[in-house]
Amino acid sequence: MMTKIYPRTGDNQTVYLNAVINDPSIEVGDYTIYNDFVSDPRLFEHNNVLYHYPINHERLIIGKFCSIACGAKFLFNCANHRLKSLSTYTFPLFYEDWELNKADVASAWDNKGDIVIGNDVWIGYEAVIMAGVHIGDGAIIGTRAVVTKDVPPYTIVGGVPAKEIRKRFSPKIIKRMQALKWWDWPMEEIKNKLPYIMDGNWNQL
């Protein structure tokens, strides 16, 4: 768990995200950063995690060493209206006017589950991640993409809705990277291997 909030001296636009998270249903790995040049990045829970109400007991899980750009949003299940109903109107939410059972409020929307982001994921400017989506390790989410489906590891996606653009590496390298899990290494080992990581020299890891 990071205690240091700002990775760089004099830069108040970028934070280590798990140092500013208070909600126990949001889990963020070490060294994951969030940058915001519009709002205070310390307000990530309020400004970027939307429709995330306790009634659903849903979680946002983000791995280590992720980079999240300004304005990225995570939209949870309460943003969904129930599609099986003959009306999209959320009658159960307004149970008082319609004399419905308060305990059935959650039936107003479809529940698609948690949002899970892997390690070393880059989420671009103003991208939107929808409820229930799982994003694999090493994936890249393009600027203003709307991600409605799972993204495999080391895959670049973009567009509305987001579609695969290409794989970052060959299947052989992807398999090797998933086995290495460098983000779980001790800091000293990462430091020692950093030249190879930064230069893309995977066969030296």
DSSP class of residue 108? Answer: G
Q: Count other C-beta atoms under 10 Å from residue 115's C-beta.
A: 25
**91 with 100: CB under 8 angstroms?**
yes
- Cα(44)–Cα(15) distance, rounded to whole angstroms? 10
Structure tokens at 77: 């299940």
Q: 183 vs 110, 128, 191, CA distance in Å? A: 34, 25, 11
Alpha helix locations (H) across the chain? 44-48, 95-98, 171-180, 187-199
The one catalytic residue among 46, 52, 57, 81: 81
Catalytic residue list contains 81: yes
Q: Which residues are catalytic?
A: 81
